[in-house]
Amino acid sequence: MGFDWTSQHVIVTGGSEGIGAAVAEAGARRGARVSILARRRVPLRDMAETIGAEWVTADVTHRDELASAIKELERRQGPCTVLACCAGLTLPGRFLDIDPDDFDTQITANYLGSVNAIRCVLPGMTERAAGRILLISSTSAFLGITGYSSYGPTKASIRQLALCLRYETDPTGVQLSVLYPADTDTPGLARENLRKPPETKAITGSIKPLPAETVARAALRGLERGHHHITTDPLTRFFLLWANLPEDLARPFFRRSIAKARGVDG
């Protein structure tokens, strides 16, 4: 049986622009009840009006504010059945040139923002034994790239979060998927390009950014098919294959150990 988007309440963080807006629009086109969150009121409102979504302003780094916003959206449209954590930003620069606050900003937005959002919806999904969560990592989760010392680790942490959390969510019926986009043609990439060091531009300049709509289609297709890892280009698929090998080999041992521990616990 196919995945029925018309029965889903899709909540998208970072839904005012970029990949988040494209995911929200793709969900709306499939008939889902879509809600979007972001910090900036005007672009969020405009995007919501364009795609027919509900909206509430919220900063994913503020736990209480985010929890209140998601609670309000669930009041309007029903329990969240699909969460897409798309909020985030990239602040490239050489390690010693970057403002120390830029490290904090990216860690809290890119990693803890996703953690905060998941913790808002996961209890309900677990209780209903159903739900899908999309996390946004990056090709830079696999590569050390000059100029991304403050950014790349935050995307690697998203991948690691999914690898760890999946052992808890899979048995409950909640599916966790990670999207690994390469450069994507978004307003965020345009802002990022303004501050890239020459070395970073030399490395990334040969990559043709994908349209956000293409990335969003891949994300929703991956969610529909229940894929744990979603890629949009051959190079990232290659990196993912080799990065997943140790996990694939260890997974049977982990699952046996978890089952044994749960049996001992009761």
Q: Where are the domains of the chain?
A: 5-265
Model pLDDT, residue 205: 80
Model pLDDT, residue 266: 43
Which ranges in 90-144 belong to alpha helices (H)?
100-106, 113-128
Phi and psi for 219 in degrees, rounded to 5?
A: -65, -50
| Angstrom distance (rounded) from CA 99 to CA 62 | 22
- CATH, range 5-265: 3.40.50.720
Neighbours of 151 (CB within 10 A): 25
Could you tell me which residues come within 8 angstroms of residue 264 by beta carbon, excluding any fewer than 6 positions away? none
Sign of CA dihedral 86, 87, 93, 98: negative
**Catalytic residue annotation:** 137, 151, 155
Model pLDDT, residue 141: 92
Model pLDDT, residue 259: 66
| Angstrom distance (rounded) from CA 165 to CA 162 | 5
Model pLDDT, residue 255: 64
Closest alpha carbon to 243 in 233, 257, 229 = 229
Per-residue pLDDT of the chain (266 residues; tens, 9 = 90+): 578 999 999 999 999 999 999 999 999 999 999 999 999 999 999 999 999 999 999 999 999 999 999 999 999 999 999 999 999 999 999 999 999 999 999 999 999 999 999 999 999 999 999 999 999 999 999 988 999 999 999 999 999 999 999 999 999 999 999 999 999 999 999 999 999 999 999 988 878 999 999 999 999 999 999 999 999 998 888 888 888 765 665 566 556 665 666 775 54
Hey, what amino acid is at 261?
Answer: A
Enter the pTM of the model.
0.91
